[in-house]
A = this chain, B = another copy of it.
Amino acid sequence: MVKIAIVGFGTVGESVARILVEDPREELSLSMICNRNVARKKVEWMPSHVVWTDDFNTVIESNVDVVVELIGGMYPAVDWISTALTAGKAVVTANKQVIAEHGSTLTRQSVEEGRPLLFEAAVAGGIPIVRGLNSGLAGDSIVQILGLLNGTCNYILTRMEAGKIEFKTALKEAQEKGYAEADPSADVDGGDAGAKLAILSAIGLRCPVAIEDLSINSIRPVEYVDFSYANRLSSTIRQVARAQIVEERQGSVCASVGPTVVPLDSELARTQGSENIVVVTGNRGGRTAFSGHGAGGDPTGVAVVSDLMEIATVGQVRTVWPTGKARGNVEVEYDAKHYLRFVVEDAPGILAKIATVLARYEINVDSILQEPGWSKSELPFVVTLESCNTSSVKQAVREIEKFGFHAKKPVWMPILDRGES
């Protein structure tokens, strides 16, 4: 019987407690709950033997076997996890930020102390992808991980498409429904998915990466018109997180997060609302996909309790984290087809000017899409490019931006090929 302390009694903490109390398992016993100003957190359904405290030291000095860290954020979470391991406690956490940045140090400490550190809940909530990579596909050599890792972005993008609405309206809706926070930056600007991708790269591709090395683009510039043009390409738009072994340079991966044009018939496009999906490609086993609820108290709570069950039944569980430095392992540039969207004040010669710049960078245009019915003063149109390096695209766009005809800043996104998605 494993004695458990929940540290951080928010939405996920409460779900974990509810599962432990309402679906009791003989291996697990909830002993303690720790939260700031804990008095206001007390709930009547909690068994009376559970100790409430607002002092983390009480947890450390108690006889609990496992500390469930659910306070979120970097500090003091990272120190508390380390303190708990030093005190001989096993740790379960849902903290992607801490694991993405300190996974290497903390898993090493976990091995040294002989105490498990599990974090299934840190990536894709209820989808058991950490276990899937760490043990289920351990027999394969994974070469690519492709995912929709942020339910808020997926909700916003699928709502923009279905409701023919703009980003701000969809964001507001997501906030009202509790899918997005008051400050949505971590979600929509890609930091959240970036942290999760860093964890997946480490445990799946065996390549530790630094979040600040990743190529991360916000979904904020995406407009409804982009869905309308993407549809003409039999595609839609998703915030795609992607990491891929670079064959030419051992120990490095190409890793990026950002809005991406994906084929309508792909698994990524079919992932609706706040769902998450992770598509893993192995050298031997081919593609395996995991999908489900990537966030929310209950799915995340299930992931935490699954980790607790593993500690209780297996005992010594080790998460494999690659050794070696994380900085400098990311190739930011990669080859892909590209989607460029311009909104211009129409005048003769615009296309010629754009085409001339692209030609100078040896970029081949694949198609030009311009739908009728738009105002001449804010005319959106799209140029798709044959496969070329993102570095050339960025340079070319930077040059094109200098022309005076833009009504809005141009937007570029990579296009995922049918075979890749």
Contacts and interface: CB of A to CB of B under 8 A. Distances in A.
Interface of A: 15, 19, 23, 120, 126-128, 131-132, 135-141, 267, 270, 282-293, 298-299, 301-310, 313-318, 320
Among A120, A126, A138, A306, find the residue whose CB has the most chain B CB atoms closer than 10 A. Answer: A138
Contact of A286 (B126, B128, B283, B304): B126
A323 to B, nearest CB: 13
A299 B285 contact: yes
B137 A306 contact: yes
Q: How many copies of this chain are found per oligomer?
A: 2
Given A19-B139, A139-B303, A284-B299, 6 more contacts: A128-B137, A135-B309, A139-B308, A284-B301, A314-B314, A314-B318
Contacts of A316: 314-315
A320 to B, nearest CB: 7
A302 B314 contact: no
Given A128-B288, A293-B286, A313 B302 contact: no
Contacts of A267: 291
A317 B314 contact: yes
A16 B172 CA distance: 52
A320 B314 contact: no
A141 B138 CA distance: 26
A132 B120 CA distance: 12
A321 B304 CA distance: 22
A162 to B, nearest CB: 14
A306 B128 contact: no
Contacts of A15: 284
28 contacts: A19-B139, A23-B141, A126-B137, A126-B285, A126-B286, A128-B132, A128-B135, A128-B288, A135-B309, A136-B306, A138-B309, A139-B301, A139-B307, A140-B305, A284-B302, A285-B299, A286-B292, A286-B293, A286-B298, A287-B292, A287-B293, A288-B290, A288-B291, A288-B293, A290-B290, A313-B318, A314-B314, A315-B316
Nearest to A275: B287
A298 to B, nearest CB: 4
A390 B309 CA distance: 38
Contacts of A120: 136
Contacts of A305: 138-140
Nearest to A293: B286
Nearest to A16: B139
